[in-house]
Structure 1
Amino acid sequence: METENRPSFSYMGRNFSDLSINEDSSAFSECNSDRSGEFPSTSSQSRQLAMACASENSDELIQQLVSDLQSCSIEEQKQAAMEIRLIAKNKPENRVKIAKAGAVKPLISLISSADPQLQEYGVTAILNLSLCDENKEIIAFSGAIKPLVRALRLGTPTAKENSACALLRLSQVDENKSAIGRSGAIPLLVNLLESGGFRAKKDASTALYSLCSVKENKIRAVHAGIMKPLVELMADFGSNMVDKSAYVLSLLVSVTDARTALVEEGGIPVLVEIVEVGSQRQKEIAVAILLQVCEDSVVYRTMVAREGAIPPLVALSQSGTNRAKQKAETLIELLRQPRSGNVAATTKTSAVSV
């Protein structure tokens, strides 16, 4: 598995490795727990649940719920999965207890259920268990990735969103990134990014950002057609997805096919517009992307210059943050080079860590 460092640049003897994009987590979905609302509950176990959430010791109830997950009754399975989900959500210390009690494999079995509601409950419970770092390895090792991908393909809207969040959490273990990519998750996340609601788009972009730190997943994302929704979302300032889409794009453009797709989808005018009218953070991300696009291509530099990039770059070099100023100055120098094709004078990409 090849995990890449964040982009860095050197130009005319100046090292810009310290100009990495500010990875402000507020740009992304927190996925701290499911946000699907409280499931309806009519059984007497609801009272037990309330007592367990307030109690110091919920071990006995957890053991009973794990047993109920394996019941022959779908209704009992639903009730048990729902209550496990709530206990894991409302009392984080129970997440390890639930996993150690043997809940993970039965919950994964529920994710493969033909009953859409049972599948949704299983996905949501696994999501809440995956919020604990200690549980991520056992969830992946127990075979959760493929069922989560299946739910991402065929589940209810809530199951799809929570599957994306669960896959995000599992992808925070580097060894899982390639496995998730190979499982077919990336085209489904791209589809969610393109056609889902706002929360689905936010969750999909966050998962893709995590997964695309691996080169093979960048290629999968580009081949899945990610560039079209990314460019469309960056162009829509009312979508509240400009930052999120640009962060994902900033990872992808280290791949040649991604730069080609970006240009083909009309991304250069969109990036230039962001430099002109975006927020300070958006401007800095857009300039960093344009630097990567232009560093080895006279053709792309010409396109960027013809889109009128130099005036807003000059303005940014005078009024942006220190990092934004440096990036803008570097890009201006590139754009002002003779366009006859003196490749020897172009920027060289820094070595990628493996």
Structure 2
Amino acid sequence: MDNRIVIANCGAISFLVGLLYSTDTRLQANAVTALLNLSINNNKKTAIINADAIEPLIYVLQTGSPDARENSAATLFSLSVIEENKVKIGRSGAIQPLVDLLGIGTPRGRKDAATALFNLSIFNENEARIVQAGAVKYLVELMDPAAGMVDKAVAVLSNLATIPEGRVAIGQEGGIPVLVEVVELGSARVKENAAAALLQLCPSSNRFCNMVLQEGAVPPLVALSQSGTPRAREKAQVLLSYFRNQRNAGQG
């Protein structure tokens, strides 16, 4: 940690950013890895952004070796921890290559891309960009427990479900059955995020509401309403009460 501060204070950042365009793949990979390590220090995140690193990092994300692409995604994630950087990175064109990495990257590359996309999706303006870049299809695929990424995929989907185009994409890409499955089988935090996504989907569309019910969501939601985290219990109770009101209205 001490060395990171010394290296950055010696003026290394701008030289490392320049090396991201190197045609020597090993040099490029070492430069991006060094920037990733420097970015762990909060004070250096701003220095990296101020050295105009975003475009070169996107270049590595698109053209680098698998290792370099992973570390570029991880660096963008690290930089996006700072609020104003979420805006800059989202507007710079980083989202499409991050989504591409989500689809075709190594397991670690996919995790780094998903984590970066989660951070970026916290800023409203980026949500539509992430949906338009085709992320929902990959996120639904990554909800397969075998991928080892259910928690990250559900966290991003839960943010994307807050906008109309996100909800439409989740419905179209087969996201509803897997969200219901996660409410039943996921970890406490994952169940909470899945319930949050369903709570966005059901009131927005009768068709989605019926799909959720047909997938057998009520028993796992009842269980969640009794034994989940406080936030998950609240979401499950609101959903169950919504289903009851819909049923009563239908009978009336």
Q: TM-score range by the shorter chain?
A: over 0.9
* 1:187 to 2:96 alignment: yes
The aligned counterpart of 2:115 is 206
What is the aligned partner in structure 2 of residue 252 from structure 1?
A: 160
Deviation at 1:148, TM superposition (A): 0.5
Give the corresponding residue for 1:151. 60
Contact 1:228 1:265 in 2 (8 A): yes
The answer to whether structure 1 residue 264 and structure 2 residue 195 are counterparts is no
Structure 1, gaps ≥5 residues long: 1-91, 343-354
Distance in 2 separating the partners of 1:190 and 1:250: 16
In the alignment, structure 1 residue 324 sits paired with structure 2 residue 235:
no
Structure 2: which 5+ residue stretches go unaligned? Answer: none
**Cα distance, 1:130 vs structure 2:** 1.0
Aligned partners of 2:66 and 2:106 also within 8 Å: no
Q: In 2, are the aligned partners of 1:124 and 1:159 still within 8 Å (CA)? A: yes
Aligned length: 250
Specify the alignment match of 1:312 in structure 2. Answer: 220
Aligned to 2:17: 108
Equivalent in the alignment of 2:181: 273
Distance across 2 between alignment mates of 1:163 and 1:293 = 33
After TM superposition, give the deviation of residue 291 of structure 1 in Å. 0.6
Contact 1:96 1:134 in 2 (8 A): no
Deviation at 1:275, TM superposition (A): 1.6
Letter paired with 1:197: T
**Counterpart Cα distance in 2 of 1:280 and 1:174:** 27
The Cα offsets for residues 121-169 of structure 1, whole Å up to 9 and x where unpaired, read as 1111111111111111111111111000000000011110110111111
Query: How far apart, in 1, do the equivalents of 2:217 and 2:176 lie?
Result: 10
CA contact (8 A) 1:302 1:339 kept: no
Residue aligning to 2:202: 294
Please tell me the residue identity of whatever aligns with 1:330. Answer: V
* Matched-pair contact (CA < 8 Å) for 2:155–2:190: no
Cα 1:181–1:324 shift into 2, 3 Å? closer
1:1-354 equivalence runs, <5 A: 92-234=1-143, 236-338=144-246
CA shift digits 1:170-205 (9 cap, x unpaired): 112222212212222111111111211221111111
For residues 46 and 228 of structure 2, the distance between their equivalents in structure 1, rounded to whole angstroms, comes to: 43
Helix, strand or coil at the partner of 1:114: coil
Higher relative contact order (CA 8 A, sep 6+): 1
Cα distance in 1, alignment partners of residues 209 and 134 from structure 2: 24
Q: Larger deviation: 210-219 or 144-153? A: 210-219
Alignment check: 8 A CA contact 1:318 1:325 kept? yes
TM-score, reference length from structure 1 = 0.67
Secondary structure of the residue that 2:198 maps to in structure 1? helix
Contact in 2 for aligned 1:205/1:244 (Cα 8 Å): yes
- CA–CA distance in structure 2, aligned partners of residues 97 and 252 of structure 1: 40
Q: Which whole-Å CA distance do the structure 1 matches of 2:170 and 2:209 have between them?
A: 14
Shift of 1:341: 8.2
The Cα of 1:280 is off from its aligned counterpart by 2.9
What secondary structure sits across from 2:47 in the alignment?
A: helix
2:184 is aligned with what amino acid?
A: E
3-state SS of 1:238 partner: helix
Query: Which residue number corresponds to residue 44 of structure 1?
Result: none
Report which stretch shifted further, 283-292 or 332-341.
332-341
In structure 1, how many angstroms separate the alpha carbons of the residues matched to 2:246 and 2:10? Answer: 67
Deviation at 1:334, TM superposition (A): 1.0
Counterpart amino acid of 1:289? A
SS at match of 2:245: coil
Instruction: Check conservation: 1:231, 1:266, Cα contact below 8 A.
Output: yes
- Separation in 2, partners of 1:321, 1:170: 30
- Letter aligned with residue 138 of structure 1: A
Against the structure 1 CA distance between its residues 122 and 341, is the aligned structure 2 distance closer, same or farther, given a 3 Å change threshold? farther
Between Structure 1 and Structure 2, which shows a larger proportion of helix residues? 2
Residue aligned with 1:261, SS: helix
Deviations 1:61-98 (A, max 9, x none): xxxxxxxxxxxxxxxxxxxxxxxxxxxxxxx1122221
Q: Distance in 1 between matches of 2:113 and 2:214?
A: 33
Q: 1:268 deviation in Å?
A: 0.7
For 1:325 and 1:278, how far apart are their aligned partners in 2?
Answer: 14
2:129 & 2:49 partners in 1: Cα distance? 21
**C-alpha root-mean-square deviation of aligned residues, in Å?**
1.8
